[in-house]
Structure 1
Amino acid sequence: MLQRPQESEYPEYYVPYVNSVPEGDLLTHLKENLTKITELFENISEEDADFRYASGKWSIREVLGHMTDTERIMSYRLLRIGRGDQTALAGFEENDYVAASQINRLPVKNILDDFVATRKATITLIENMPEGAWANVGNANNTEVTARAVAYIIAGHEIHHRKIINDRYLAAL
């Protein structure tokens, strides 16, 4: 079972993500949360997917697109760091990615299908990562991070945004 990372293994701004991952097997959580996200978004209408809980906030549809982009980027970081690649990995500006995606033109089902495919790829990457690779340290966005921490950040990021969708978006609809 993959060990929870120590706070020294990742930047401080990821603490809320890592702390939101419950104790237990990370792969089990990733698989269970895939089911939760699928059920959540299968019940969101096209009209509701355009809802923004406040001016200047992303739509529900944009949040799911952001979750997909971020998981894809973080999985790439996990792959590179897990393989021992010491090349510094660039950061990304999430608002620019959302704007450039033009995600609001896509049906929710298409966005959800993309998230599902991305999560399944993340799961197989984690399942097949060599045991010794989890302690590998890399540099992403000008900060040091271990492969183990990246895996937990991926899980925590999804949990964070699912909670926001439920608490801020769906509660206001």
Structure 2
Amino acid sequence: MNQRPSEEEYAGDFGEYIRLVPEGNIIDILLAQQKQMTELLASLTESQGAYRYAEGKWMLKEVVGHIADGERVMTYRLLRFARGDQTPLPGFDQELFLYPFGSWTIAQLAEDYLAVRQSTITLLRGLPAEAWSRKGTANDISISARALAYGIAGHELYHLGVIRNRYLS
């Protein structure tokens, strides 16, 4: 899938994530990110994973857990919309989802991330061409399956930038 989503396929702040994604096949981009994230996680110590760059900010491990959970939520939405389900889906409170990650090891986070990403790629590889442009409503925003796929990649790119600039610099 090489076609970027048009601005008619998403609304609001979601475009900030989509604009971060480079040109190319979205599945190839997600696979390259998987390799990059796996290598990053393999290089981290538990001490680095527990680091917060400021009081009240997430631990690095929580950021990684958030990336995986954000992908889970976006992939679920993508699945529903790609299959033609028009049921409006609610938003989610990202703070509620952080609970377990501070106590996880880096190895557990890496395993979880990899499982989520592999599931996403399997889903995307199986989508028929017409499914990519199907739209639905999530968090009161109309969005296509294609825009969600790009949003998954852009969300990770955004947070990798934060990790590099705030946690590992």
Task: Bin the TM-score by the shorter chain.
Answer: over 0.9
CA–CA distance in 1 between the matches of 2:111 and 2:122? 17
Residue type at the aligned position of 1:96 = L
CA–CA distance in 2 between the matches of 1:97 and 1:27? 26
Residue aligning to 1:143: 141
Residue aligning to 2:155: 157
Residue aligning to 1:122: 120
Residue type at the aligned position of 1:121 = S
- For the 8 Å contact 2:135–2:142, the answer to whether it is kept is yes
Identity fraction in percent:
43
Q: Confirm whether residue 89 of structure 1 aligns to residue 117 of structure 2.
A: no
Residue aligning to 2:13: 13
Deviations 1:56-86 (A, max 9, x none): 1100000011011110111000100000000
Residue aligning to 1:66: 66
SS, match of residue 56 in structure 2: coil
Residue type at the aligned position of 2:164 = N
Q: Size of the alignment, in residue pairs?
A: 169
> Cα distance, 1:102 vs. partner?
2.0
Residue aligning to 1:29: 29
SS, match of residue 144 in structure 1: strand
RMSD: 0.9
TM-score by length of 1: 0.95
Deviations 1:75-122 (A, max 9, x none): 000100000000011110111211xx3211111110111001100100
- For the 8 Å contact 1:2–1:148, the answer to whether it is kept is no
Residue aligning to 2:168: 170
Residue segments in structure 1 that go unaligned for 5+ positions in a row: none
- Summarize the alignment of residues 96-107 of structure 1 with structure 2, pairs less than 5 Å apart: 96-98=96-98, 101-107=99-105
Residue aligning to 2:75: 75
CA–CA distance in 2 between the matches of 1:103 and 1:27? 27
CA–CA distance in 1 between the matches of 2:88 and 2:163? 33
SS, match of residue 12 in structure 1: coil
Deviations 1:113-134 (A, max 9, x none): 1001100100111111111011
CA–CA distance in 2 between the matches of 1:15 and 1:81? 18
Residue type at the aligned position of 1:13 = D
> Cα distance, 1:12 vs. partner?
2.0
